[in-house]
Amino acid sequence: MPELHDLSPTAAYDLLQTTPHSILVDIRSAMEYLFVGHPVGSVHIAWIDEPDWDINPHFASEVEQLLTSRFQELPPKAAQVVLICRSGKRSREAASALLEAGFQHVMHIDEGFEGERDDQHHRGTLGGWRFYGLPWEQC
């Protein structure tokens, strides 16, 4: 079985800019994606979402459908899939599920979008996509 690869936010951004057939999937809840913000160009497919906060039983098939529509010239499970969540914990779980479903190239951003909490319990001061000034937007 292929291995999960951890990427720093900057390494993920570089990979996405230079690697054909790569995509960034933001797996956070819809509320996080819309109101906290998300990387420019990312596609939202929730791993766990409100109202029940259960794992999305269709996650792998939704990612496969996305890849089928985006990259018609290769098998969808051969594309480079990079996952991002808030701090890198949920994306690791979701990446493992994709690998178990037969995806070949799955990575996750180890610091997530906001990074870990600092001593004042704030996110965004120690790491994460936004911390490094990578392109992001919010509603």
Averaged in consecutive runs of 10 residues, what is the pLDDT profile of the chain (139 residues)? 89 97 97 95 96 95 96 92 95 96 96 92 90 94
Q: Does residue 125 contact residue 114 with C-beta atoms inside 8 Å?
A: no
Distance CA(30)–CA(49), nearest Å, equals 7
Give me the number of domains the chain comprises: 1
Distance CA(132)–CA(2), nearest Å, equals 29
Rounded to two decimals, what is the model's pTM? 0.94
CATH number at residue 75: 3.40.250.10
Give residue-wise pLDDT tens across range 109-133.
Answer: 999 999 988 898 888 888 999 999 9
Phi, psi of 130 (to 5 degrees): -65, -35
Domain that holds residue 90: 5-137
